[in-house]
A and B are shown apart, each in its own frame.
Chain A
Amino acid sequence: MRKLLFAVLALCSLAANAVNLRWAAQNDILTLDPHSQNHATTHSILQYTYEGLTRYTKDYKIEPALATSWKQLSDTVWRFELRKGVKFHDGSPFTADDVVFSFGRIKQPQGTNQVYVTGVNEVKKIDDYTVEFVLAGPTPILLRNIVDFRIMSRGWAEKNRSQNVQDYAKKEEIFASRNTNGTGPYIIKSWEPDKQIVLTVNKGWWGKLDGNVTDVVYTPIKSDQTRMSALLSGDVDLVTDVPTQDVDRLRKDGKLKVLDGHEVRTIFIGMDQNRDELQYSNVKGKNPFKDVRVRKAMNMAVDREAIRRVTMRGLSIPAGIMIAPGVHGYSKQIDIVQKYDPAGAKKLLAEAGYPDGFEFTLDCPNNRYVNDEKICQALVAMWAKAGIRARLNSMPFANFIPKILKFDTSAYMLGWGVATFDGLYTLQSLVRTKTTGADGSFNLGRISNPKLDNTIDAIKIATDPKARDALLKEGLETTRDEAYYVPLHHQMRPWVMKKGVSISYSPDDRPQARFATVK
Chain B
Amino acid sequence: MLLRRLWDHDLAWSFRRSPVTVVAALLTLVCVGGAALAPWLAPQDPFNMAGLDLNNAFLPPAWSESGRAAFFLGTDNQGRDILSTIMHGARVSLVVGLASVLLAMFLGVSLGLISGYFGGRIDAFIMRVADIQLSFPAILIALLIDGVTRIALSAEAHDATAIAVLVVSIGLSKWVDYARTVRGSTLVEKNREYVQAARVIGRRPLAILLSHVLPNVMGPVLVIATINIGIAIITEATLSFLGVGVPATTPSLGTLIRVGNEFLYSGEWWITVFPGAALVVLVLSVNLLGDWLRDALNPKLR
Contact = CB atoms under 8 A, between A and B. Distances in A.
Given A224-B262, A395-B155, A306 B50 contact: no
Interface in A106-120: none
Nearest to B259: A374
Contacts of A20: none
A381 B50 contact: yes
Interface string A366-400: 00000001100110111011000100110110010
Contacts of A246: 265-266
Given A310-B55, A374-B78, A384-B50, A399 B262 contact: no
Q: Is the interface of A mostly helix, strand, loop or mixed?
A: helix
A494 to B, nearest CB: 14
Interface in B236-274: 248-249, 261-268
A382 to B, nearest CB: 7
B175 interface: no
A248 interface: yes
A8 B249 CA distance: 43
Interface in B65-99: 77-79
Nearest to B79: A381
B55 A306 contact: yes
Contact of A310 (B54, B264, B266): B54
Interface in B37-67: 49-50, 52-55, 57-58
B266 A385 contact: no
A310 B79 CA distance: 10
B265 to A, nearest CB: 5
Nearest to B50: A384
A384 B262 contact: no
B262 A243 contact: yes
Contacts of B156: 393, 395
A310 B80 CA distance: 13
A384 B49 contact: yes
Contacts of A179: none
Contact of B261 (A225, A393, A396): A225
19 contacts: A224-B262, A225-B261, A243-B266, A245-B265, A246-B265, A249-B266, A306-B54, A310-B57, A311-B57, A374-B77, A374-B78, A381-B50, A381-B78, A384-B50, A384-B52, A389-B49, A392-B249, A395-B155, A395-B156
A303 B54 CA distance: 9
A377 B78 contact: yes
Contacts of A224: 262
Interface in A324-381: 373-374, 377-378, 380-381
Interface string A392-419: 1101100100000000000000000000
B55 A245 contact: no
A297 interface: no
Contacts of B79: 381
Residues of B contacting A: mostly = loop
Contacts of A300: none
Interface in B176-217: none
A86 to B, nearest CB: 46
A289 B58 CA distance: 34
Interface string B144-159: 0000000000011000
Given A245-B266, A310-B77, A385 B50 contact: yes
A236 interface: no
Nearest to A378: B54
A190 B77 CA distance: 40
Nearest to B158: A395
A243 B266 CA distance: 10
B262 A380 contact: no
Nearest to A361: B156
A245 B49 contact: no
Given A306-B54, A310-B57, 6 more contacts: A310-B77, A381-B52, A381-B54, A381-B78, A393-B156, A396-B155
Top 10 A-B pairs ranked by shortest CB distance? A384-B50, A245-B266, A381-B52, A384-B49, A306-B54, A381-B49, A310-B57, A395-B155, A380-B49, A378-B54
Chain A contact residues (Cβ within 8 angstroms of B): what range? 20 to 34
A117 B264 CA distance: 46
Contacts of A395: 155-156
A216 to B, nearest CB: 27
A271 interface: no
A311 B54 contact: yes
Contacts of A378: 54, 78
A471 interface: no
A42 to B, nearest CB: 24
Nearest to A396: B155
A225 B54 contact: no
Contacts of A294: none
A264 interface: no
Contact of A381 (B53, B248, B268): B53
B266 A399 contact: no
B133 to A, nearest CB: 31
A228 interface: yes
A343 to B, nearest CB: 14
Nearest to A403: B155
Contacts of A243: 262, 266
Contacts of A381: 49-50, 52-54, 78-79
Given A306-B55, A310-B77, A225 B265 contact: yes
A32 interface: no
A165 interface: no
B50 A225 contact: no
Contacts of A310: 54-55, 57-58, 77
Contacts of A396: 155
Contacts of A382: 54
A373 B262 CA distance: 14
Nearest to A249: B266
Nearest to A389: B49
Interface string A272-311: 0000000000000000000000000000000100110011
Contacts of A374: 77-78
A389 B267 CA distance: 33
Nearest to B267: A249
A396 B49 CA distance: 22
A310 B78 CA distance: 9
Contacts of B78: 374, 377-378, 381
Contacts of A377: 78
A249 B267 CA distance: 9
A371 to B, nearest CB: 9
A248 B265 CA distance: 10
Nearest to B249: A392
A399 B155 CA distance: 8
B44 to A, nearest CB: 12
